Amino acid sequence: MFRAISLLLAVAVGSVSLPAQELRLANLSNIPRKQWVDVAVPAALAAPLPRLCRFDPPGWIAFKGAAVGSHSVLFHVLGSFGPQQTLQGNLVPISNSTSFTPWGMSDWVADNTPALLPTPVLLDAQGLEHRMTQPTLDLVESESPARRVFHWWGRMGTSPVVCDVYLYVYTGQDIVPVEVTFTCSDPQLTGMSYAWQALWLECGEYPQIEYRTRLGLTAPMRQTGVQNHPSYQKWVQVVSGPRTIGRGEGLHVSGALLCLLEPGRAPVGTGYSTNGMTTQWTVGDRIDSLTAEYQFPCVGVDRRWAGRWLAFGMVPELPQSMRADGGVADSNAAWQGFRALLQQPADLFAQRPRGLFRNASSTGAQEDFGASKGSLAVTVGDPRWLFDAGYSVAEVMMRGWHYRNANGSPMRFANHPSLQLFNQYPNCRTTGTSLGYPCPLPYTWPTTGWTAWDDQHRSQNNFMAMLALTGRWALRHQLRDLVEVDQALVPNWMDTPRAEGRLQMAWSNSLLLLDSASARTALQGTMQQRLQAVLNNWPGRFFVGNAQKPIRVLSVGSDPTFLEANGSRVPAVVVWEHSIAVMGFYAAWRTTGDVRFRDLAREITRLIVDHCCFQENGRWIAATAIRYLQGAQEGNALPASSYYTGSPDVHTQISFWSWILPAVLICRELYTGVDAARVARCNAILQDVVPNGPTNWADAEWWAVLPR
């Protein structure tokens, strides 16, 4: 009986998982290599897979690893790649046994383990060197025999700078990927900025920094000139020259430690075997793999994210012109463009191509905006996007919302319950503590040019996509720190509709990606408290259920180009802002299940579709804004005669269909089975405006909320 049950289970696992997995693994270097590659699999598809799988057709070892929240599960595949080779295959179940060959460092790593811990050094404005005086080494991941992840962190001497180093040590592998973050944050700092002369890493193994030319960094040098300095015989990687950094800001570098054999020992081949599967490295293989990593990493993606991608579930649709080849030509062009960018020297704090502007509050469209990002990876299936996006996603480390305790540990809101922040900075008018910041805050102070996020422009879609597809620990910890900041919002405060929508979209993704159950619970509470604040402050709440008052606006706004005859701004329903709010409420309903989010989204989509979109000369037009009637007429609809181009009551100067169509899609979804006429209106709009779908990635990423 037991044997029969086991056989049935094995068949069931195979039948579920085998056709469902389709992974692409790529060696970005033109040198062959043998090494572990990480790939994130949708959690639902990973669930039935055992701890040990085989990547077929090559037949490589593949271990299940750590989960990324409730969204993704990492698999570590030990592959053998030719130059610039991309391989596609499936994960085949092998065993849930616990008797696998255990994790162990390669001999080139283990022969000098202290060399794995880079020593960060800061030279302050007075010429004093600061090093970590009481560092902490934490093991943060040990889920699979494939790898261990270590976190090495601490405050640098008496400076306000904290260093965090993340080390990824793989079984039998001589390459140790590394991430390093420096954060200027100390409640005892007296000013709003801090200056240094230089910042560097002293490494016992060779540090290969990714994007080095673009970041304006020189190659590491072996320090052999000054014998009485602690860096003697170490590799010194300069990270920054003279710099003034704002309070709460940071910087980030990533790459790998290339571990070489200690002098005096003869090099030999090595290997890793488990459950009958084996990978062997000759000495030449080991040198090739190190050399390949010096050029580019190995990367991997799962192609089956449709219906499983972040808060909305949808992956962006392929734009019209890219459907013939599945977006391959566009993806190739993007990769070549990024490689060309990497050859153009810039600076650590230069603008990054994917992400918000350095000044996040800049007016207009920004690349990170939309429902989701990661299209080239999750829609096209190109793993190269991960290396491309990694450069831009580092922006999250640089923005000034990072708070640390005196010992360098992250701030936790539970320890500062009277803290109140606005746009991530202490709100000096209401907060019970300032975390050591001067209140009132100065109007300006020296910074690196990277602002904190203001809620009206908040977007972290590329960051979320990168975390979902890589599970990088620097990003996991950044997300946890950000969620702590978000709990300190000013209570019962309602911002503009776009701010409310962007916050809820960011939080909805965060809820899926957070590792800590307590952090998820706290975040869901924050989302619901913010919803209650919106419901408490929503002008339209007074007209709910009153058919004579259908204009139930979230808040009354204005548009700088929508003016009265005397030049003053028209009080208005800003349509595109309300659409962004709808996106946030819908995402929050999907992730929390709180029907109040759904009901509010339904209410606002009705406003947009019924009263902010109209037909003229047989074509549908989305208003930029419509006049909001006041006094006794407040809540009333505009007369039908107001809807024409050039109307003093309906502003159509700028087309915001890209940002408004998500509300039309959500309206159709939420009114299906409820109001057939409204659903028909939504379908008519979609058929007229986007009969063939998006023409570019920006639109595709905005509309990735529901099927078109």
Span 173-193, pLDDT tens digits:
999 999 999 999 999 999 999
- DSSP one-letter code for 563: B
pLDDT at 18 over 50: no
SS3 of the chain: helix, strand, coil, percent, to 5:
30, 25, 40
Residue in this structure with the two tokens 């320090």, named with its chain if needed: 223
pLDDT at 5: 25
pLDDT at 2: 26
pLDDT at 20: 42
* H helix count then E strand count, the chain: 18, 28
- pTM to 2 decimals? 0.95
Instruction: Note the pLDDT tens digit of each residue in 433-448.
Output: 999 999 999 999 999 9
pLDDT at 206: 98
Categorize the per-residue pLDDT at 1 as very low, low, confident or very high, splitting at 50, 70 and 90: very low
Please, are residues 232 and 239 in contact by the beta-carbon 8 Å criterion? no
pLDDT at 10 over 70: no
pLDDT at 308 over 80: yes
Q: Is 582 helix (H, G, I), strand (E, B) or coil?
A: helix
User: What is the C-alpha separation between 331 and 649, in angstroms, rounded?
Assistant: 44
Please, are residues 553 and 604 in contact by the beta-carbon 8 Å criterion? no
Kindly state the average pLDDT of the residues 570-593.
Answer: 98
Return the exposure string of 421-459: e unless at least 16 CB atoms fall within 10 Å of the residue's CB, then b: bbbbbbbeeebebbbbbeeeeeeeeebbebbbbbbbbbb
Kindly state the average pLDDT of the residues 186-207.
Answer: 97
Q: Is 309 helix (H, G, I), strand (E, B) or coil?
A: strand
pLDDT at 708 over 80: yes
Comparing CA positions, the residue from 543, 557, 539 lying closest to residue 625 is: 557
- DSSP one-letter code for 697: H
Instruction: Note the pLDDT tens digit of each residue in 40-99.
Output: 999 999 999 999 999 999 999 999 999 999 999 999 999 999 999 999 999 999 999 888
Instruction: Note the pLDDT tens digit of each residue in 223-281.
Output: 999 999 999 999 999 999 999 999 999 999 999 999 998 887 889 999 999 999 999 99
Give the sheet arrangement for strand 175-184, strand by strand: 136-144, 147-155, 161-170, 175-184, 250-258, 206-209
pLDDT at 21: 52
Contacts of 281 (CB under 8 A, 6+ apart): 34, 172, 269, 270, 271, 289
Number of other residues whose CB lies within 10 A of the CB of residue 268: 12
Chain Cα centroid distance, residue 373: 9
Residue 173's Cβ-count burial label (10 Å; 0-12, 13-18, 19+) is buried
User: What is the C-alpha separation between 140 and 148, in angstroms, rounded?
Assistant: 8
Kindly state the average pLDDT of the residues 598-614.
Answer: 98
Comparing CA positions, the residue from 183, 65, 204 lying closest to residue 132 is: 183
Contacts of 652 (CB under 8 A, 6+ apart): 621, 622, 623, 624, 645
pLDDT > 70: what percent of the chain? 97
Kindly state the average pLDDT of the residues 330-336.
Answer: 97
Q: Residue 478: which H helix or E strand, with range?
A: helix 473-486
Comparing CA positions, the residue from 561, 583, 580, 582 lying closest to residue 572 is: 561
* Average pLDDT score, the chain: 94
